[in-house]
Amino acid sequence: MEQTTNSITLRGSLQSLPQFSHENHERRFYRFILEVPRLSGAIDLLPIIAEEQIIMDIDPFAGEMLTVTGQIRSHNLRKDGARHLLIFVFASTVTAEDGEPINDVIVEGPLCREPTYRRTPLGREICDVMLAVPRAFHRADYLPCILWGRTAQEVSECHTRDCIRIYGRLQSRIYTKLTEEGPEERTAYEISALSADILDEQI
């Protein structure tokens, strides 16, 4: 794939002040949570990573409306012998501006495993896929996506290495995982597709 397609635009409110996250090649990065409401009234709590200078330029305060553009990234974290896939938004711009909430995503890449198709008890069609979205330096971001209805049915017939372009939104979902220490509440992130294109190329 010659051109990487991975873009997200968000507008929501800052949950709390940005906190230092990490340093890489003498560049400091901060992390914060953006609250982005859905039309249903539910609120997605989305993690954002931004370089220090971007944060300093706007000097945000808690509750302020922010617009963020960037890419959705993934990182494999090894902890206690297990691997966890961390999903976050890597910001290229952050601006302070009021307006209607925005949550627009476009990602494109090959399927890195076979689609999982199912029906709910009420007959709703759902398909889960994992896209390997190419990044610079021969890397990739592994992004979980969920598709619905006719789109789910069409994509369920695809196979590993088939390329898909998805238009949708990034959502957060709280679930309970049973651990040795007991039930633990965790948050999962996935791209909920509004539409999808099955591309001719294969990786």
Mean pLDDT (10-residue bins), the chain, 203 residues: 79 96 94 96 96 95 96 86 86 96 97 96 95 92 97 96 97 87 88 94 64
118 within domain boundaries:
yes
User: Domain range for residue 21?
Assistant: 6-105
Do 174 and 95 belong to one domain?
A: no
Neighbours of 89 (CB within 10 A): 23
191 within domain boundaries:
yes
Do 124 and 88 belong to one domain?
A: no
- Which among 47, 77, 105 is the end of a domain? 105
Q: What is the pLDDT of residues 57-81, one digit of tens each?
A: 999 999 999 999 999 999 988 776 6
Please answer whether residues 134 and 155 qualify as being in contact, where contact means their C-beta atoms are separated by less than 8 angstroms. no
| Beta-carbon contacts of residue 37 (< 8 Å; ≥ 6 apart) | 12, 43, 44, 101
1 within domain boundaries:
no
- Which among 61, 76, 105 is the end of a domain? 105
59 within domain boundaries:
yes
Neighbours of 109 (CB within 10 A): 26
pLDDT at res. 108: 97
| Domain of residue 91, CATH code | 2.40.50.140
The tokens describing 1, both together, are 């794939």
Do 92 and 114 belong to one domain?
A: no
* Whether pTM exceeds 0.85: yes
Do 168 and 193 belong to one domain?
A: yes
Do 144 and 179 belong to one domain?
A: yes
Dihedral sign (CA 7, 190, 88, 13): positive
pLDDT at res. 2: 45
pLDDT at res. 201: 67
- Which among 50, 75, 105 is the end of a domain? 105
Per the structure, how many domains does the chain have? 2
The tokens describing 94, both together, are 């952050």
